[in-house]
Structure 1
């Protein structure tokens, strides 16, 4: 031995790969899905999708992927009987700048190597995949042709090695923390700051918004915890895009689904304050005050609302009673 250092390098497969194909394909199809036969619940599952279609359809496409228990005949979208893996084809990374103009009319195969996340409380059993195409520009939808695909949820199955969850899944699953107020906000903002380093364009926010807006408007999963969680994720995606009008609409929808939670009212008040509308903020806060008047977040928003309205004594009363943690 000469005490030199031996370095061993491993070639890492790209998470998204694009290949030209010779056949002409009008509508996007799912050629294959590669994944383990079984997995425990609540852990990332490695999955490889192979999509084929025209460049225009692929680049403009969101895929709405739903896994349903094979005994769930009505596809209820309940947390215990289903999960999602919605995302833009190619994770939003299909760049037309890499093609010559005469290549736009050709067809391609897009290979995605990623991971999905069945919820921790998902029921044991076999699950089947269904897929819907949603055009991000026109709103066109159609069912995607695909081979049968299944996955067994088994609590004693070996945990599979998986890559990092895609950004859309990360945001959608973390958004549930909004229901906890400040306790849930801190990890959300830490995660989104990290995610934005991977996607500085923040297209993943638009993917989340468009996919969940479609599902919520269609009434899918209505009356379930998952339906409410989608509303939290839609709200977060619009807030992070600084879409005030869209965020207000999403929070109002969220309030209908989680009316006994004071935090959605607080978020609505905060957005109105951000928009310099303290009168609307004061109105939004009233239900939150009735539910949990002593919450520090509610007291702070009451104080700021009063301050912006020039009611200094009331502002001082609310803000001076706050206990500022270390």
Structure 2
């Protein structure tokens, strides 16, 4: 008699038309405008870095699952592809190939697979890899080549942090920030491209509007209160990319409405504090990672009480 084994996986257990593969492919589609903007402004190196990250993430996941963890290889769910693209989008176009490989191995091997694979990682793999690379090779991770002439220049947030008349005169215009004609990481420069992708994900019901809107809104309110330009802080740096594509990661963000609001406000507050008073001009990555760690506590606080439930003794 054939024995039917019960397969238990991580939550959520509700089955709908949005399978993991469908969701991940939607995210890839949503990232196409930002990829196109990267090609336009940074040249062919955008494609090279992105392909290296994708190939390294997929290969690392396949090797670990097949030969180390002895599990079914799940690279066909496209999650490793998404991690590779997001990691590439958080790197400067001038980054060497080996840096992309190391970041990919760290994202998949350490952050994702060591904790059980998709749905089990408690922090965003691409952001964790970016933080690791930034701590290990800060110079290589902060040198931004500008447009296709490979000239190195400061990012808009770097110029804001620097201050002074000379820095103010060098600040790009709102239109440059909106279109992507600025220095920065591969996938964060064009606010228009990221907004198109974010709206696509919301329309497709892949993500909720709450986290990105509240995250960005919190940063705008706090920077305005501090006497800064809220629109500039919204379009410059990685705020929009992080809000739409990384803060909304299913595995590391709250599922309750109340929890999502607390989480998004926390991301916005930490980002603003680092940008305004920290030594580093950008705080999006660290804010999301810190709130990822706080997610279990947020979920515990925001989980609705079951009617009739008896409160346990302290």
TM-score, normalising length: structure 2: 0.26
More helix by share: 2
Considering only CA atoms, is the larger Rg found in Structure 1 or Structure 2?
A: 1
